[in-house]
Chains A and B, each alone.
Chain A
């Protein structure tokens, strides 16, 4: 009975939790319900993944209106994988949020923060699960609006400005997307993503379709913070409450990447639109720019969370590089990295939150000698950092392996060197933390500082453990990602 409605429940459960939390107005209840909802989301996502592995595609007609007239929720292996990532990070963020919110957010705002978290979760899951282009826009705005509020909850006034800037850029991005969808709707008369794919064949060379592709690309690229469109991201991640940074860094940009994959491979893939466009070259250049410029910028940051945010921009470059390669190995690398980087970067942001919880600063000058007083936190951070670099036996290595394989397949030998060389920049910025924490004498700021409480360390360590586990046993991540890549490439002509 429940089995057939899983796809709808995936979104409805967190969506309904938000108003209940606002009505009850109690922080403890809000936290408990958020925990339940997050675990339920993960369970539903895993159940959907199992279903999809057996049957291929789960299609759910909302309100029993048959697609393409009604809104269709369509789960295949690609978005099931993304759903699992979102559910996983929400579940792990839950226990952490209790202490993190207590330390960083005024108590009367706790329940509102949890309500926003549930809405954000519903929006992100909705983006991933829906098969309708306009429904996707609505979920995009639900997740974005709640994200702006979550960022503005940050303890510094700069969080407000960061949130405002993100609001402006995010709304421009979402509006660009909806302009693109509008043009597609005018040309084809449908909003269903799969129906669009078949109907675009007849009109692929019409100018509005080209304009639609451009608008959708720029709009989604703003959301996923592709290199020159990334200015909103560093401050938004740096000034948000710790648990919010961790959740967003692992999910928000990743879901936008999923939308890009969906449009490029499923919707536009069948038409001949890409034959005459240098899309692949553009993405290649921008990815490489992100890998080098943003990673280098990370190395010059004074604040640990800024460093992590810039490093995220560089890592997004790896994912888009895999998309630009557009072959089996490259795309597998992109999708694996989407998952692995989500887990790794969330772990690092959670650990940065642990450091702030004790030291009340994330500036490198204040972190000197940190490893003597917070050895566990620093050790976890180093493991996460190794995954960012791509050291073997960490999740980051798996990605680079597949990216290099994908690059070799294209025959352009110089692309092979790019992920390798840019890893050296990652070594540089991870080393800055190691140098500060392990090789400097502790300053007066660290006197009397203890290791972070277990309730904060444990969730972070679960993700650190997963980072190592997915580096050693790749059967789940690579197995799923390579099947997802097959599905996406199967959508091409």
Chain B
């Protein structure tokens, strides 16, 4: 029972750790961004879930309603979603430019090319 009552937190933590793991473990620039998006999504849940009260209504004063859900987390997360979309768009844009410049989006191949450039500079 007590484990289930914290259900939303378990999901949050799973997404958080899973997303962060993908960012660290994957070498593909697009997959990293997918991980980053999952990581950010976990935060949305962290804010939204506790804002909901079972049986609560929108915070409009009216007869017959005593329990209200807090609307503030939703507003905050709307902003955070916009930020997340902007970050993802910019990240993907950079990935496209990197692919144009290097011909690959694999981190280790990019690092190899950079090392080669550095050797050239040192030799020249």
Binding site for B on A (CB under 8 A): 134, 137-138, 141, 145, 148-149, 152, 157-158, 160-161, 163-164, 167-168, 171-172, 175, 178-179, 182-183, 185-186, 302, 363, 365
| CB of B23, distance to nearest CB on chain A (Å) | 6
| CB < 8 Å A-B pair total | 69
Bound together, the chains give a CA A158 to CA B102 distance in angstroms of: 10
Q: Which of B98-124 contact A (CB under 8 A)?
A: 98, 101-102, 110, 114, 117, 121-122
Chain A residues with Cβ below 8 Å from B29 are 164
8 residue pairs A–B, Cβ–Cβ below 8 Å: A134-B79, A145-B87, A149-B90, A152-B97, A164-B91, A167-B91, A182-B47, A183-B46
- Are B32 and A172 in touch, CB under 8 angstroms? no
B interface residues (Cβ-Cβ under 8 A, vs A): 16, 20, 23, 29, 32, 36, 39-40, 43, 46-47, 50, 73, 76, 79-80, 83, 86-87, 90-91, 94-95, 97-98, 101-102, 110, 114, 117, 121-122
The answer to whether A138 touches B79, judged by C-beta atoms less than 8 angstroms apart, is yes
Chain A residues, CB < 8 A from B114: 158, 161
Q: Which residues of B sit under 8 angstroms from A157, Cβ to Cβ?
A: 98, 101-102
With A160-B94, A160-B98, A167-B94 as given contacts, are A363 and B121 in contact (CB-CB < 8 Å)? yes
B89's nearest neighbour on chain A, judged by CB, is: A145
Residues of chain B with a CB closer than 8 A to A178's CB? 43, 80
Q: Which residues of A contact B76 (CB under 8 A)?
A: 134
A360 to B98, CA, bound (A): 23
Residue pair B32, A152 in contact (C-beta under 8 Å): no
B87 contact from A163, A171, A183, Cβ within 8 A: A171
Residues of A within 8 A of B94 (CB): 148, 152, 160, 163-164, 167
Beyond A158-B114, A175-B43, 20 extra complex contacts between A and B, CB < 8 Å:
A134-B76, A137-B80, A138-B79, A148-B90, A149-B90, A158-B117, A160-B97, A160-B101, A161-B98, A161-B110, A167-B90, A167-B91, A167-B94, A168-B36, A172-B23, A172-B39, A178-B43, A178-B80, A183-B46, A302-B122
CA gap between A167 and B35 in the complex, in Å:
13
Contacts of B80 in A (CB 8 A): 137, 178
**Main SS of the interface on chain A?**
helix
Contacts of B102 in A (CB 8 A): 157
Residue from B16, B32, B83, B87 in contact with A138 in the complex, judged by beta carbons closer than 8 Å = B83
What distance in Å separates the Cβ of A332 from its nearest Cβ neighbour in chain B? 35
A137 to B46, CA, bound (A): 16
Residue from B46, B83, B97, B122 within 8 A of A182 (CB atoms)? B46
Which residues of B lie under 8 Å from residue A138 when comparing CB positions? 79, 83
- In the complex, what's the smallest C-beta–C-beta distance from A487 to chain B, in angstroms? 29
Chain B residues closer than 8 Å to A365, beta-carbon distance? 122
Task: State A134–B73 Cα separation when bound (angstroms).
Answer: 11
* Distance between Cα atoms of A365 and B118 in the complex (Å): 13
CA A152 – CA B90 in complex, angstroms? 11
- When distances are taken between beta carbons in the complex, the residues of chain A under 8 Å from B86 are 141, 145
Separation in Å of the B26 CB from the closest CB of chain A? 11
Please measure, in the bound complex, the distance between the C-alpha atom of A59 and the C-alpha atom of B68, giving whole angstroms: 31
B117 contacts across to A, CB distance below 8 A: 158
* Alpha-carbon separation in the docked complex, A363 to B83 (Å): 38
- Distance between Cα atoms of A363 and B117 in the complex (Å): 13
Name the 8 nearest CB pairs between A and B, nearest first: A157-B101, A141-B83, A164-B94, A160-B98, A182-B46, A182-B47, A160-B97, A171-B87
**Whole-angstrom distance between the Cβ of B90 and the nearest chain A Cβ:** 6
